[in-house]
Amino acid sequence: MTAKPQTAALELRRAAEGAASALPPLLVAAEQLAATVQMGGHGRRRVGPGEEFWQYRPAHSGDEARRVDWRRSARSDQQFVREREWQLAQSVHLWVDDAASMRFSGAPEGARSRPTKGARARLLALALAVLMVRAGERVGLTGPLAPPRPGRAQLQTLAGLLSEDASAEDYGVPQVAGVAPYARVAMLSDFLGDLAPLEAALAALADRGVSGVMLQVLDPAEEEFPFHGRTIFESMGGSLSHETRKADDLRARYLARLAERRDRLEGLARAAGWQFATHHTGHPAQVPLLWLWAALERRRG
C-alpha cells in the first residue's frame, strides 16, 4: 500500500468529518425537540403487510402452510393463521424556505434574543423528519436533492442539506419538482413574498393529489411592527425598500395587510385541502411541531 491512497483517504475522512460536524447540533436539537412528542399508534387498523400483530384467523384453503401459526393451532383442533397489521410507509416532502427573508430576527442579541425564522423553520422541519423516520415514514425534501427515504441515514442527509448555505433570493419560491403523487408536503416559510408562485405550486401539487400543511413562521417584530419615526425599510436582500417619515402611521395598515395575507393563505390552503397555521419565533417550538405532526397524521388515514 502506497502513501498516496492513504493520504487521499485521510483527506476524504477529514472533509467528511468537517461536513458532519455541522450536522450534529441541528440534528441533536431536532432529536431533542422530537423527543417531546409522544408517539401514538400509526397502524392502519386493518390487515396488511406490517410488523405488528393484528389477529389470528382460522386457516382456510389457499393459505400457505408456512403461514399457519403452529403454536396457536396446537391449542385447538383448527389451524390458525397469524395476520399482521397493514403498515404503509408514506412519503413526506419537506420544503423549508431558505430565502434571505428567513434570516431575519427581530432580536438577534441580548437576553431576550430570538432565533432567526430560518433557524426555527429548519429545526421544526428536521424534528418533524425525526418523528417521521421514527414512525417508519419516508422523508425527503422537495426538489431533486433528497428524495424520500426511510431510515436514520436519511436524517443525516436532510440535516446536511438543511444546514447548507441559503440562497440569495429575497423571498423563497416553493419547489414542487420530484413530489410523488399522493405524497405529503410540509411547507415552512414566512410566505411574505409574491403569492403567485405559491398558488401555482399548490395547484400543481393538488393536481397530483398531494396534500399537506403550510406553516408560516414569523418573527414577533413582523407581527407587531414596533417602529417609529423616519425609517427606510429594506428587505433582507436589499432588493426592496420603502421609506417613511412616520413609521407609526403605517402600523395599522401594515397589520391589516398582514392579516389579509394570512386570510388569503388560509383560503389557498383550504381550497387545496391543505392546512395552514402561523408560528412566531418568540414562542416555543414544541407547539408547532405537535401541530405539524397531528396535521400530517390526520391526513395520513
Partner 1 sequence: MTVFGPIGFTAPWLLLGLSALPVLWFLLRAVPPAPIRRRFPGVALLLGLADEEVQAERTPWWLLALRMLALAAAIVGFAGPVLNPVVSVPGQGPLLIVEDGSWASARDWSRRVARMKEALSEAEGAGRPAAILMLSDPPPGPQPFAAPGDLVPGLAGLKPAPWEPGADVPPLPDGRFETLWLSDGLARPGREALADALRAHGALRVWQPAVPVLALGAARIVEAEVHVPALASAPVPFPVEVTAVGLDPAGIERELARQEISLSAATRAEAIFDLPPELRNRVTRFEVTALRSAGSVSLTDDAVKRRKVALIGGAPTREGLALLSPLHYLQQALAPSADLLEGTLDDILIAKPDVIVLADVATLAEPDRLAEWVEEGGLLLRFAGPRMAAAESGDDPLLPVRLRAGGRSVGGTMSWGEPRQLAPFPEASPFFGLTPPDDVTVRAQVMAEPGPELAERTIAALADGTPLVTRARFGQGEVVLFHVSANAEWSSLPLSGLFPQMLERLAISARPAQPGQAELAGTTWRAVKLIDAFGRLEGAEARSGIPGEDLGEALAGAGAGPALPPGLYAAEDRSVALNALAPGRELSPALWPLDVPVEGGEAPRAMPLKGWLVLAALGLLALDILAALAVSGRLRGPRVARAMVVLLALGLGMMPGTGLRAEETTMDPERAIAAASNVVLAHMPTGDPEVDRIALAGLQGLSDTLFARTAVEPSEPMTLDIERDDLALFTLIYWPVTADQPAPSPQAYARLNRYLRGGGMILFDTRDADLLGVGSASPAARRLQALAAPLDIPPLEPVPSDHVLTRTFYLLQTFPGRYDGPIWVEAAPPDAERAEGMPFRNLNDGVTPLVIGGNDWAAAWAEDARGLPMFPIGRGSAGDRQREIALRFGVNLVMHVLTGNYKSDQVHVPALLERLGQ
Q: Which residues bind partner 1 (CB under 8 A)?
A: 101-102, 104, 117, 171, 190, 192-193, 219, 221-222, 225, 227-236, 240-247, 249-250, 253-254, 257-258, 261
Q: Cell 425534501 maps to which residue?
A: 141
- State which residue, 137 or 219, has the beta carbon closest to partner 1: 219
Nearest in space to 183 (alpha carbons), one of 255, 274, 288: 274
- Compute the distance between CA of residue 65 and CA of residue 221 in angstroms, rounded to an integer: 67
**Residue 227, Cα to own-chain centre: how many angstroms?**
32
Cβ atoms 46, 74 nearer than 8 A: no
Q: Is 85 left (phi over 0), alpha (psi -120 to 50) or beta?
A: beta
Minimum distance from residue 218 beta carbon to partner 1 (Å): 9
Minimum distance from residue 108 beta carbon to partner 1 (Å): 10
Q: Burial code of 286-299, b = ≥16 C-beta within 10 A, e = fewer?
A: eebbebbbebbeee
Minimum distance from residue 221 beta carbon to partner 1 (Å): 8
Minimum distance from residue 251 beta carbon to partner 1 (Å): 10
CA distances from 201 to 72, 177, 178, 228, 258 (A): 53, 9, 12, 37, 21
- State which residue, 90 or 105, has the beta carbon closest to partner 1: 105
Polymer length of the chain: 301
Q: Count of alpha carbons within 13 Å of 260, Cβ hemisphere only?
A: 7
- State which residue, 158 or 192, has the beta carbon closest to partner 1: 192
What distance, in Å, lies between the first and last C-alpha atoms of the chain? 57
- State which residue, 86 or 225, has the beta carbon closest to partner 1: 225
- State which residue, 134 or 251, has the beta carbon closest to partner 1: 251
Minimum distance from residue 226 beta carbon to partner 1 (Å): 9
- State which residue, 152 or 242, has the beta carbon closest to partner 1: 242
Minimum distance from residue 261 beta carbon to partner 1 (Å): 7
